[in-house]
Amino acid sequence: MTGSIENKSDVTIYTTLFCPYCIRAKKLLESKDVSFNEIRVDFSAQKRQEMVVRAKSYSVPQIWIGDNHVGGCDELYQLEHNGKLQEYLENL
């Protein structure tokens, strides 16, 4: 990647504090120098409901790159494995 993503609203990740998948997903994004907007849902029923409505899923993490809903940690790592994550990030 040529530089970091500066606009925190470009990448959004809904998380909980002790979720190992949330931690893995954040580490991957951080390793690519991607700034992200983290929304914690473990202590906010309102934020969790917002995530459920947007993602149509109850599990965390839920990740968006721009307007594209990536899914969770496994999907994020699959994009990386397939060489597509960089493409998503560069097209923000």
Print the domain residue range for 31: 11-85
Of 27, 35, 43, which is closest to residue 11 (Cα–Cα)?
Answer: 35
Q: Confidence band (pLDDT; 50, 70, 90) for 6?
A: very low
Asked whether residue 5 is assigned to any structural domain, the reply reads no
Domains in the chain, number: 1
The model's pTM is 0.88
For the domain that residue 23 is a member of, what is the CATH number? Answer: 3.40.30.10
Asked whether residue 92 is assigned to any structural domain, the reply reads no
Other beta carbons within 10 angstroms of residue 66's beta carbon come to 16
- In tens, the pLDDT along 30-74 reads 999 999 999 999 999 999 999 999 999 999 999 999 999 999 999
- In tens, the pLDDT along 70-90 reads 999 999 999 999 999 999 999
Asked whether residue 24 is assigned to any structural domain, the reply reads yes
Kindly state the DSSP code that residue 70 receives in the 8-state scheme: E
